[in-house]
Protein backbone atom coordinates (compact mmCIF):
# COMPACT_ATOMS: atom_id res chain seq x y z
CA UNK A 1 0.00 0.00 0.00
CA UNK A 2 2.88 2.33 0.85
CA UNK A 3 4.44 1.54 -2.50
CA UNK A 4 1.19 2.40 -4.27
CA UNK A 5 0.91 5.76 -2.47
CA UNK A 6 4.52 6.46 -3.31
CA UNK A 7 3.97 5.65 -6.95
CA UNK A 8 0.82 7.80 -7.06
CA UNK A 9 2.63 10.73 -5.44
CA UNK A 10 5.49 10.41 -7.91
CA UNK A 11 3.02 10.43 -10.83
CA UNK A 12 1.22 13.55 -9.57
CA UNK A 13 4.48 15.35 -8.91
CA UNK A 14 5.69 14.43 -12.37
CA UNK A 15 2.48 15.85 -13.83
CA UNK A 16 3.05 19.13 -12.00
CA UNK A 17 6.64 19.28 -13.15
CA UNK A 18 5.57 18.62 -16.75
CA UNK A 19 2.96 21.37 -16.59
CA UNK A 20 5.45 23.87 -15.19
CA UNK A 21 8.00 22.80 -17.78
CA UNK A 22 5.45 23.43 -20.55
CA UNK A 23 4.69 26.89 -19.16
CA UNK A 24 8.40 27.58 -18.91
CA UNK A 25 9.00 26.46 -22.48
CA UNK A 26 6.20 28.70 -23.79
CA UNK A 27 7.56 31.72 -21.93
CA UNK A 28 11.08 30.85 -23.04
CA UNK A 29 9.90 30.59 -26.64
CA UNK A 30 8.32 34.03 -26.43
CA UNK A 31 11.57 35.46 -25.08
CA UNK A 32 13.49 33.84 -27.93
CA UNK A 33 11.01 35.24 -30.47
CA UNK A 34 11.28 38.73 -28.97
CA UNK A 35 15.05 38.50 -29.08
CA UNK A 36 14.94 37.35 -32.72
CA UNK A 37 12.54 40.13 -33.65
CA UNK A 38 15.13 42.84 -33.15
CA UNK A 39 18.37 41.71 -34.83
CA UNK A 40 21.24 44.06 -35.53
CA UNK A 41 20.03 44.86 -39.03
CA UNK A 42 16.67 45.98 -37.58
CA UNK A 43 14.65 43.71 -39.88
CA UNK A 44 11.78 41.89 -38.21
CA UNK A 45 12.11 38.14 -38.66
CA UNK A 46 9.10 36.88 -36.72
CA UNK A 47 5.56 36.87 -38.07
CA UNK A 48 2.77 38.20 -35.89
CA UNK A 49 -0.75 36.84 -36.01
CA UNK A 50 -2.55 38.02 -39.18
CA UNK A 51 -4.03 41.41 -38.33
CA UNK A 52 -5.03 44.87 -39.47
CA UNK A 53 -5.52 48.12 -37.57
CA UNK A 54 -8.98 49.33 -36.64
CA UNK A 55 -10.10 52.96 -36.52
CA UNK A 56 -9.72 53.29 -32.77
CA UNK A 57 -6.08 52.41 -32.17
CA UNK A 58 -6.73 48.71 -31.87
CA UNK A 59 -5.98 45.47 -33.67
CA UNK A 60 -8.28 43.03 -35.49
CA UNK A 61 -7.03 39.46 -35.93
CA UNK A 62 -8.90 37.24 -38.37
CA UNK A 63 -7.79 33.64 -38.13
CA UNK A 64 -8.57 31.55 -41.20
CA UNK A 65 -5.90 28.87 -41.49
CA UNK A 66 -5.50 26.02 -38.96
CA UNK A 67 -2.67 26.49 -36.46
CA UNK A 68 -1.11 24.18 -33.92
CA UNK A 69 -2.40 25.22 -30.46
CA UNK A 70 1.12 25.38 -29.00
CA UNK A 71 2.29 27.57 -31.88
CA UNK A 72 -0.78 29.78 -31.48
CA UNK A 73 -0.08 30.21 -27.77
CA UNK A 74 3.51 31.30 -28.39
CA UNK A 75 2.72 33.62 -31.31
CA UNK A 76 -0.26 35.14 -29.47
CA UNK A 77 1.91 36.04 -26.49
CA UNK A 78 4.56 37.48 -28.75
CA UNK A 79 2.01 39.47 -30.76
CA UNK A 80 0.49 40.93 -27.59
CA UNK A 81 3.92 41.96 -26.37
CA UNK A 82 4.63 43.77 -29.64
CA UNK A 83 1.25 45.49 -29.74
CA UNK A 84 1.76 46.64 -26.17
CA UNK A 85 5.08 48.21 -27.16
CA UNK A 86 3.24 49.94 -30.01
CA UNK A 87 0.69 51.27 -27.47
CA UNK A 88 -2.22 49.56 -29.17
CA UNK A 89 -5.50 49.38 -27.28
CA UNK A 90 -8.14 46.75 -27.94
CA UNK A 91 -7.31 43.45 -29.65
CA UNK A 92 -10.09 41.56 -31.41
CA UNK A 93 -9.66 37.92 -32.43
CA UNK A 94 -12.21 36.42 -34.81
CA UNK A 95 -12.11 32.63 -34.64
CA UNK A 96 -14.15 30.64 -37.17
CA UNK A 97 -15.97 27.63 -35.82
CA UNK A 98 -13.39 25.22 -37.25
CA UNK A 99 -10.71 26.82 -35.02
CA UNK A 100 -12.67 26.43 -31.80
CA UNK A 101 -9.70 24.54 -30.32
CA UNK A 102 -7.88 27.89 -30.01
CA UNK A 103 -10.53 29.55 -27.84
CA UNK A 104 -9.28 28.19 -24.52
CA UNK A 105 -5.75 29.38 -25.26
CA UNK A 106 -6.93 32.92 -25.97
CA UNK A 107 -9.06 32.95 -22.81
CA UNK A 108 -6.07 31.87 -20.72
CA UNK A 109 -4.19 34.88 -22.09
CA UNK A 110 -6.93 37.20 -20.82
CA UNK A 111 -9.31 37.40 -23.78
CA UNK A 112 -13.04 37.64 -23.09
CA UNK A 113 -16.04 36.63 -25.18
CA UNK A 114 -17.61 39.58 -26.99
CA UNK A 115 -20.16 38.05 -29.35
CA UNK A 116 -20.83 35.01 -31.47
CA UNK A 117 -22.47 34.29 -34.80
CA UNK A 118 -23.35 30.90 -36.30
CA UNK A 119 -19.91 30.50 -37.87
CA UNK A 120 -17.49 32.43 -35.66
CA UNK A 121 -16.68 33.64 -32.15
CA UNK A 122 -15.26 37.11 -31.45
CA UNK A 123 -12.96 37.56 -28.46
CA UNK A 124 -11.50 40.80 -27.17
CA UNK A 125 -8.56 41.92 -25.00
CA UNK A 126 -7.80 45.38 -23.61
CA UNK A 127 -4.06 46.10 -23.49
CA UNK A 128 -3.70 49.41 -21.56
CA UNK A 129 -3.88 49.46 -17.77
CA UNK A 130 -6.84 51.81 -17.99
CA UNK A 131 -10.58 51.33 -18.05
CA UNK A 132 -11.60 49.53 -21.23
CA UNK A 133 -13.53 51.61 -23.75
CA UNK A 134 -14.45 48.64 -25.94
CA UNK A 135 -18.20 48.82 -26.64
CA UNK A 136 -20.38 46.02 -25.34
CA UNK A 137 -22.14 43.59 -27.62
CA UNK A 138 -25.35 44.76 -29.32
CA UNK A 139 -27.86 45.73 -26.64
CA UNK A 140 -31.08 45.69 -28.69
CA UNK A 141 -32.93 43.65 -31.25
CA UNK A 142 -35.47 45.25 -33.61
CA UNK A 143 -39.06 44.17 -34.18
CA UNK A 144 -41.93 45.52 -36.25
CA UNK A 145 -45.67 45.53 -35.84
CA UNK A 146 -47.57 45.93 -39.13
CA UNK A 147 -50.83 47.91 -39.22
CA UNK A 148 -52.49 47.09 -42.54
CA UNK A 149 -55.98 48.57 -43.11
CA UNK A 150 -58.10 48.43 -46.25
CA UNK A 151 -60.67 50.91 -47.60
CA UNK A 152 -63.43 49.22 -45.57
CA UNK A 153 -61.61 50.07 -42.30
CA UNK A 154 -60.70 46.46 -41.77
CA UNK A 155 -57.37 45.45 -40.25
CA UNK A 156 -55.26 42.52 -41.36
CA UNK A 157 -54.99 40.37 -38.22
CA UNK A 158 -53.59 36.99 -37.25
CA UNK A 159 -53.68 34.37 -34.53
CA UNK A 160 -50.28 32.79 -33.92
CA UNK A 161 -49.49 29.17 -33.15
CA UNK A 162 -46.91 30.31 -30.58
CA UNK A 163 -46.60 33.31 -28.28
CA UNK A 164 -48.46 34.85 -25.35
CA UNK A 165 -51.82 35.07 -27.11
CA UNK A 166 -51.78 31.47 -28.33
CA UNK A 167 -55.07 29.74 -27.63
CA UNK A 168 -56.80 32.87 -26.27
CA UNK A 169 -58.88 33.58 -29.36
CA UNK A 170 -57.50 37.13 -29.47
CA UNK A 171 -56.45 38.56 -32.82
CA UNK A 172 -53.31 40.68 -33.24
CA UNK A 173 -51.48 42.56 -35.97
CA UNK A 174 -48.60 40.78 -37.75
CA UNK A 175 -45.26 41.17 -35.97
CA UNK A 176 -41.72 39.96 -36.54
CA UNK A 177 -38.00 40.45 -36.04
CA UNK A 178 -35.84 42.38 -38.48
CA UNK A 179 -33.03 40.47 -40.12
CA UNK A 180 -29.44 41.67 -40.03
CA UNK A 181 -28.95 44.54 -42.48
CA UNK A 182 -32.69 44.86 -43.15
CA UNK A 183 -34.44 48.24 -43.22
CA UNK A 184 -37.52 48.82 -41.06
CA UNK A 185 -39.80 49.34 -44.06
CA UNK A 186 -38.43 46.28 -45.86
CA UNK A 187 -38.86 44.11 -42.79
CA UNK A 188 -42.46 45.23 -42.32
CA UNK A 189 -43.33 44.41 -45.93
CA UNK A 190 -41.56 41.05 -45.69
CA UNK A 191 -43.22 39.99 -42.43
CA UNK A 192 -46.72 40.77 -43.71
CA UNK A 193 -46.03 38.83 -46.90
CA UNK A 194 -44.60 35.83 -45.03
CA UNK A 195 -47.39 35.58 -42.45
CA UNK A 196 -50.42 36.40 -44.61
CA UNK A 197 -49.40 36.39 -48.27
CA UNK A 198 -50.57 40.02 -48.60
CA UNK A 199 -48.50 42.45 -50.69
CA UNK A 200 -48.18 45.92 -49.16
CA UNK A 201 -46.74 49.38 -49.64
CA UNK A 202 -44.97 51.00 -46.68
CA UNK A 203 -46.40 54.31 -45.49
CA UNK A 204 -45.14 55.39 -42.05
CA UNK A 205 -43.60 54.49 -38.74
CA UNK A 206 -46.40 55.59 -36.43
CA UNK A 207 -44.80 54.88 -33.05
CA UNK A 208 -42.13 52.80 -31.38
CA UNK A 209 -41.72 51.09 -28.05
CA UNK A 210 -38.62 50.16 -26.04
CA UNK A 211 -38.64 47.38 -23.47
CA UNK A 212 -35.91 45.54 -21.59
CA UNK A 213 -34.82 42.02 -20.63
CA UNK A 214 -36.99 40.51 -23.31
CA UNK A 215 -34.53 38.17 -25.00
CA UNK A 216 -31.62 36.76 -22.99
CA UNK A 217 -31.43 40.04 -21.01
CA UNK A 218 -31.33 42.12 -24.21
CA UNK A 219 -33.63 45.07 -24.89
CA UNK A 220 -36.06 45.39 -27.80
CA UNK A 221 -37.27 48.23 -30.00
CA UNK A 222 -40.68 47.61 -31.59
CA UNK A 223 -41.70 49.87 -34.49
CA UNK A 224 -45.41 50.17 -35.27
CA UNK A 225 -45.66 50.61 -39.03
CA UNK A 226 -48.59 51.61 -41.26
CA UNK A 227 -48.82 49.82 -44.61
CA UNK A 228 -51.26 50.01 -47.50
CA UNK A 229 -52.52 46.66 -48.86
CA UNK A 230 -51.89 45.96 -52.54
CA UNK A 231 -53.60 42.55 -52.51
CA UNK A 232 -56.38 41.08 -50.39
CA UNK A 233 -56.42 37.29 -50.82
CA UNK A 234 -54.94 35.88 -47.59
CA UNK A 235 -52.60 32.91 -47.73
CA UNK A 236 -51.48 32.30 -44.16
CA UNK A 237 -48.08 30.94 -43.17
CA UNK A 238 -48.86 27.42 -41.99
CA UNK A 239 -45.77 27.00 -39.79
CA UNK A 240 -46.44 30.01 -37.52
CA UNK A 241 -49.96 31.34 -38.15
CA UNK A 242 -53.07 29.56 -36.88
CA UNK A 243 -55.52 31.89 -38.65
CA UNK A 244 -55.61 35.21 -40.52
CA UNK A 245 -58.44 37.48 -41.62
CA UNK A 246 -59.62 41.02 -42.34
CA UNK A 247 -61.36 42.37 -39.23
CA UNK A 248 -63.30 45.62 -38.61
CA UNK A 249 -61.06 47.91 -36.60
CA UNK A 250 -63.76 48.63 -34.02
CA UNK A 251 -64.20 44.91 -33.41
CA UNK A 252 -60.44 44.49 -33.16
CA UNK A 253 -60.08 47.33 -30.63
CA UNK A 254 -62.88 45.91 -28.44
CA UNK A 255 -60.99 42.67 -27.74
CA UNK A 256 -59.95 42.00 -24.09
CA UNK A 257 -56.20 42.42 -24.55
CA UNK A 258 -54.25 41.44 -21.40
CA UNK A 259 -52.15 44.27 -19.85
CA UNK A 260 -48.88 42.80 -21.11
CA UNK A 261 -50.24 42.94 -24.68
CA UNK A 262 -51.74 46.44 -24.55
CA UNK A 263 -49.45 47.48 -27.41
CA UNK A 264 -51.94 45.83 -29.78
CA UNK A 265 -54.79 47.95 -28.41
CA UNK A 266 -52.67 51.09 -28.84
CA UNK A 267 -52.02 50.03 -32.44
CA UNK A 268 -55.74 50.42 -33.18
CA UNK A 269 -55.91 53.80 -31.43
CA UNK A 270 -52.91 55.10 -33.37
CA UNK A 271 -54.29 53.75 -36.63
CA UNK A 272 -57.60 55.60 -36.12
CA UNK A 273 -55.72 58.77 -35.20
CA UNK A 274 -53.78 58.47 -38.44
CA UNK A 275 -56.87 57.87 -40.61
CA UNK A 276 -59.40 60.16 -38.91
CA UNK A 277 -57.41 62.93 -37.24
CA UNK A 278 -54.35 63.46 -39.40
CA UNK A 279 -51.85 61.91 -37.00
CA UNK A 280 -48.42 62.25 -38.62
CA UNK A 281 -45.97 59.41 -38.72
CA UNK A 282 -42.40 59.15 -39.92
CA UNK A 283 -41.41 58.29 -43.47
CA UNK A 284 -37.96 57.07 -44.58
CA UNK A 285 -35.74 59.73 -46.15
CA UNK A 286 -32.77 58.19 -48.04
CA UNK A 287 -29.38 59.59 -47.03
CA UNK A 288 -25.82 58.55 -47.78
CA UNK A 289 -23.72 57.67 -44.72
CA UNK A 290 -20.08 58.63 -44.31
CA UNK A 291 -18.72 55.16 -43.50
CA UNK A 292 -19.81 53.16 -46.58
CA UNK A 293 -21.60 53.43 -49.92
CA UNK A 294 -24.90 51.92 -48.79
CA UNK A 295 -27.93 54.17 -48.58
CA UNK A 296 -29.42 54.53 -45.10
CA UNK A 297 -32.70 56.14 -44.05
CA UNK A 298 -33.64 58.97 -41.73
CA UNK A 299 -37.23 58.67 -40.49
CA UNK A 300 -38.86 62.11 -40.45
CA UNK A 301 -42.27 63.79 -40.34
CA UNK A 302 -42.23 64.57 -44.04
CA UNK A 303 -45.65 66.26 -44.03
CA UNK A 304 -44.41 69.12 -41.85
CA UNK A 305 -40.93 69.33 -43.34
CA UNK A 306 -42.09 69.25 -46.98
CA UNK A 307 -38.87 67.57 -48.11
Between CA 46 and CA 255 the distance in angstroms is 71
What is the three-class DSSP state of 244? strand
- Enter the pTM of the model: 0.78
Q: What is the pLDDT of residue 45?
A: 56
Give the CA-trace dihedral at 17, 22, 23, 25, to 10 degrees: 120
Question: Residue ranges of the domains in the chain?
Answer: 9-37+46-126, 140-305
- Whether 15 shows a pLDDT value over 80: the answer reads no
φ and ψ of 290, to 5 deg: -90, -20
- With cut-offs at 50, 70 and 90, classify the pLDDT of residue 26: very low
Q: What is the pLDDT of residue 17?
A: 43
CATH number of 9-37+46-126: 3.40.630.30
For the chain, the first-to-last Cα distance in angstroms comes to 92
What is the three-class DSSP state of 120? strand
Q: Are 285 and 295 in contact (CB under 8 A)?
A: no
Q: What is the pLDDT of residue 289?
A: 76
- With cut-offs at 50, 70 and 90, classify the pLDDT of residue 237: very high
Q: Spell out the CATH class of 140-305.
A: alpha beta
pLDDT tens-digit series, residues 86-106: 999 999 999 999 999 999 999
Which is higher by pLDDT, 69 or 25? 69
pLDDT tens-digit series, residues 183-224: 999 999 999 999 999 999 999 999 999 989 888 888 999 999
Amino acid sequence: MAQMRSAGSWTFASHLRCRHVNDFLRNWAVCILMDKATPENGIEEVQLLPFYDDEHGGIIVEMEEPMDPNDFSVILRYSLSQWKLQEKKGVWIKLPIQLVNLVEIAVKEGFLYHHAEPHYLMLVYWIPETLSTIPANASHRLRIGAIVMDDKRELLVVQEKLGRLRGTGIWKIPTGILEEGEDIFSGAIREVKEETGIDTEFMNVLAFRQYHKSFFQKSTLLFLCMLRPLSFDIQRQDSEIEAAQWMPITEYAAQPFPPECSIFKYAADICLAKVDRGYSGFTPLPIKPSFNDQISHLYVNNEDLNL
